[in-house]
Chains A and B, each alone.
Chain A
């Protein structure tokens, strides 16, 4: 590990300035739970680490009529304990609850998890299911993109030099909606998702029919992604095993799993269907209250 400088700016403008000036040799730190380990093991080297946790815009956490604003550096423990998130955006709470252990959750953030663009990131499928918008600020101003378009490949995202994620914005939740995230891991703790599924469903007033659904999948392709057909297959259909099985089958049809030390292609293929069904059922349960 080489020596590096450390800055903790208190304004967004200063942070963007520091990152822009360093010309690619600076790394932003939202929680540091991945970055510190990567610097320590030599996987990443940096001349400057810019700590983002002291910037107010990145620590916003608000649920109101306009939806949810989640600052990019808000630590997981504040998220899964937040009553508004628990009530309306429970898939994010599910994700934040299983990212790392307690010590990690005191530091790690959903924004950092997204920016890492890991194929198996636990929060990203939940963000996709809940239709998050990513607010990005950089040297040429602020822009917004749908979360589905943020990751471009393993460890790759749309951020340009000097850009950081400021916050994630979520639309308000309709009545009779519910969401859930679940992953498969070989142990009961301390693992990276072998398959991760986030789902959000909106039911009609009777609770017997899907109005709409969104399913996000993780760890089964080069990046987490929106499973469009599996989601659309549910819209307007009655809530029953047959419909939900169809969604599971449609999810399996669009994945590109690999065999690695966490699971085989066969396993990921099968379990994508199993988990999609289980997650949709749980989201329905929550939607029905």
Chain B
């Protein structure tokens, strides 16, 4: 793996490294537990006296619920409680702010236990707790629901038409720019409009204009661990939730709001998490488990199986996108226009806002317009998935860019270098970029051995694609507890889904002058650490890392003050440098002074918080070589290289891991993954056999090139890493397929039947 560093990180540099800990590759603190199978994931949690739950789910995609009869389930021996939406408080029209976004509480509540309608197959209707899982499942099957069937609405364009059945009678179209709402029930929950310059003038100046329509399918995050929640509603009214989640504080708030209990009565204990990618933020099981626990007086565990996960959690939307772009004779973009409709699923909330901001994010375009719609359809309510909204958008934009390059006779990489977003570029939605590294990723690919190696085989092709994602700041808190031997425990509220325990500990270690191994990070429950927003938005290494840096600064201040007292000197004469506290005639390293201060005085505890809301953003550029079987349409990936601006790579191995993982998910999305629905709106491939994520046999080694353009808005220059790498793959693959066999793919996934269809049309 190559590292292009402007920061002279510790690794592989002859010059004095800028950092001692940052840029090295220590063994992760949670490594032994993970590789020996000792780590406790959600379903490993067993609480004394625990009951097992099961959920009765809708077999229909769209129906009114006329009645629910739970009497047979309640009568089954071994059943301890049954819950329906009648057991949840009426939320009215309250809106809950959940850190990364807001949600209409009635929708969230109805998504947990359907109230008057079911809006997708697999929609949860009732839950049962019993002595064992078999009784619970049988009881769930004994629940009788009377439905009035309604026609399913499965296509985003069909859902937008005036004739389409309306899923949610309370939804009105909100004009996001003005906050105004429409006056009639609709499936269109939101309309975004961003404009810049004069788009008519821009297209008039263009020599070439390309307009294309694109479609993408619903895809799932595909985390290996299914959702699980274990809840005890204690006799004193205190509620404890054990669950793998990307946001313990978000779960606490959602559970408190949905159950209408005070926040402080809910404690959320994080289990180890087997993948999330954005899909483990919203609650699906905890509220029902809480109600079952209250009714039965015992802790209750609810676990999903794979079919539940695919049918009833939050995938990322299918979409329809129309892109029009113009270039002048020299290849400068003159104008761009996007019209984007994203499927929200049963309730509003598609990531169309982000998609609309990302669609032209890689290009400096003088005149532009982006219109986006959040549209309800009878599919599971979508949720975040790694750079939510951006991959769909990049597939469309990059497809048109590739076609423009063809018309101009210009290499795709030179076209991008000419038009790339850089510091000072104003995006269509108005944001002006600070120092960003898109150009550097393009140069890194252009200079890569991969790009310089020509393709020689028949039916082979090469494609490139670029992508952008934001970097959220939000709130984080870290407590540093100094032990009597000078080692440090780091308490944090950020779920570790990508090695962040270690990346946070490394930043603390760098700041205080310890080794990563001297720090023991722990992800703790909501009663044990300050408020911390979700692990999402590529924010944890950036924001919780910053909080850890602040905790180190706090400790340094305390050490300076107390050392001055100890040494009987003026605090102004004491400083803390390079891991040492230095007085006029004394000097001690952190461990020495920590031992001395801990023995003689009060404990040393540092606190650090962060809440930074202009954290920059990051870009990546990928290049892929494919070989297409012209007789079957099957695409084999021969070689793949991804370059990404990571600001500063705290732990390069985890950065590479994130880039590789993101690229692989993007490849799956690009080639084979899709929700396959029958006419009734039933997903027919709700398993990992026919929902085809790539296996190791389908992938080459993903080469990661770490580009380091330090983020000026972070003490160590960190940028978010996790989400960018899923954005370019489908676009890069489409370009490679075009190069290999001369067909333009405008629909995802580019599965063998779709590619063959285009080949046969040719």
- A12 interface residue per 8 A CB criterion: no
- For A189, the closest partner residue in chain B by CB is B697
Minimum CB–CB distance from A139 to chain B (whole Å) comes to 33
Stretch at the interface among B252-260, B682-690, B726-734: B682-690
- A274 interface residue per 8 A CB criterion: yes
Minimum CB–CB distance from A116 to chain B (whole Å) comes to 15
CA of A272 to CA of B632, assembled, Å: 10
- B753–A263 contact, CB under 8 A? yes
- A190–B689 contact, CB under 8 A? yes
- Asked whether A187 and B672 contact (CB < 8 A) given A262-B690, A264-B753, the answer is yes
- B676 interface residue per 8 A CB criterion: yes
Q: How many residues of A contact B (CB 8 A)?
A: 23
- A267–B753 contact, CB under 8 A? yes
CA of A266 to CA of B758, assembled, Å: 11
- List, in ascending order, chain A residues with CB within 8 A of B684's CB: 260-261
- List, in ascending order, chain A residues with CB within 8 A of B692's CB: 186-187, 190-191
- B694 interface residue per 8 A CB criterion: yes
- A261–B685 contact, CB under 8 A? yes
- B756–A192 contact, CB under 8 A? no
- B632–A271 contact, CB under 8 A? yes
- B632–A184 contact, CB under 8 A? yes
The contact string, 1 if C-beta is below 8 Å from chain A, for chain B 735-762, is: 0000000000000000111001100100
Q: Which of B638-663 contact A (CB under 8 A)?
A: none
- For A267, the closest partner residue in chain B by CB is B753
- A38 interface residue per 8 A CB criterion: no
- List, in ascending order, chain B residues with CB within 8 A of A190's CB: 688-689, 692, 695
Minimum CB–CB distance from B35 to chain A (whole Å) comes to 21
CA of A274 to CA of B633, assembled, Å: 11
- List, in ascending order, chain A residues with CB within 8 A of B631's CB: 270-271, 274
- Asked whether A267 and B752 contact (CB < 8 A) given A184-B632, A190-B695, the answer is yes
- Across the interface, B134 reaches (CB within 8 A) one of A1, A194, A274, namely A1
- A23 interface residue per 8 A CB criterion: no
CA of A3 to CA of B137, assembled, Å: 13
- B695–A187 contact, CB under 8 A? yes
- List, in ascending order, chain B residues with CB within 8 A of A262's CB: 690
Q: Which of B111-157 contact A (CB under 8 A)?
A: 134, 137-138
CA of A271 to CA of B632, assembled, Å: 6
- B760–A186 contact, CB under 8 A? no
- B69 interface residue per 8 A CB criterion: no
- B633–A267 contact, CB under 8 A? yes
- B633–A192 contact, CB under 8 A? no
CA of A42 to CA of B634, assembled, Å: 35
Main SS at interface, chain A: loop
- Asked whether A2 and B632 contact (CB < 8 A) given A187-B694, A192-B689, A263-B752, the answer is no
- B485 interface residue per 8 A CB criterion: no
- List, in ascending order, chain B residues with CB within 8 A of A2's CB: 134, 138
- B698 interface residue per 8 A CB criterion: yes
Q: Which of A250-275 contact B (CB under 8 A)?
A: 260-264, 266-267, 270-271, 274
CA of A267 to CA of B690, assembled, Å: 17
- List, in ascending order, chain A residues with CB within 8 A of B676's CB: 260-261
- List, in ascending order, chain A residues with CB within 8 A of B671's CB: 186
Minimum CB–CB distance from A262 to chain B (whole Å) comes to 7
- A186–B752 contact, CB under 8 A? yes
- For B685, the closest partner residue in chain A by CB is A261
- Across the interface, B756 reaches (CB within 8 A) one of A3, A188, A191, A270, namely A270
- Asked whether A266 and B757 contact (CB < 8 A) given A2-B134, A271-B632, the answer is yes
CA of A261 to CA of B687, assembled, Å: 12
CA of A42 to CA of B688, assembled, Å: 18
- Asked whether A267 and B689 contact (CB < 8 A) given A186-B634, A187-B697, the answer is no
- A264–B689 contact, CB under 8 A? no
- B698–A188 contact, CB under 8 A? yes
Minimum CB–CB distance from B532 to chain A (whole Å) comes to 38
CA of A264 to CA of B633, assembled, Å: 12
CA of A45 to CA of B410, assembled, Å: 63
CA of A1 to CA of B133, assembled, Å: 9
Q: Which of B701-747 contact A (CB under 8 A)?
A: none
- For B141, the closest partner residue in chain A by CB is A42
Minimum CB–CB distance from A230 to chain B (whole Å) comes to 17
- Asked whether A261 and B695 contact (CB < 8 A) given A266-B756, A271-B632, the answer is no
CA of A184 to CA of B752, assembled, Å: 10
Minimum CB–CB distance from A126 to chain B (whole Å) comes to 20
- List, in ascending order, chain B residues with CB within 8 A of A267's CB: 633, 752-753, 756-757
CA of A188 to CA of B750, assembled, Å: 16
CA of A186 to CA of B689, assembled, Å: 11
Minimum CB–CB distance from B691 to chain A (whole Å) comes to 8
CA of A187 to CA of B697, assembled, Å: 8
- A274–B697 contact, CB under 8 A? no
The contact string, 1 if C-beta is below 8 Å from chain A, for chain B 481-512, is: 00000000000000000000000000000000
- List, in ascending order, chain B residues with CB within 8 A of A188's CB: 695, 697-698
- B672–A186 contact, CB under 8 A? yes
8 A-B pairs closest in CB distance: A261-B676, A267-B753, A188-B697, A261-B685, A274-B631, A264-B753, A189-B697, A261-B690
- A to B CB contacts below 8 Å, 30 in the list: A1-B134, A1-B137, A2-B138, A3-B134, A42-B137, A184-B752, A186-B671, A186-B751, A187-B694, A187-B695, A187-B697, A188-B695, A188-B697, A188-B698, A189-B697, A190-B688, A190-B692, A191-B689, A192-B689, A194-B752, A260-B676, A260-B684, A263-B752, A266-B753, A266-B756, A267-B753, A267-B756, A270-B631, A271-B631, A274-B631
Apart from A187-B672, A191-B689, what are 5 other A-B pairs with CB-CB below 8 Å? A188-B698, A192-B689, A194-B752, A261-B684, A264-B757
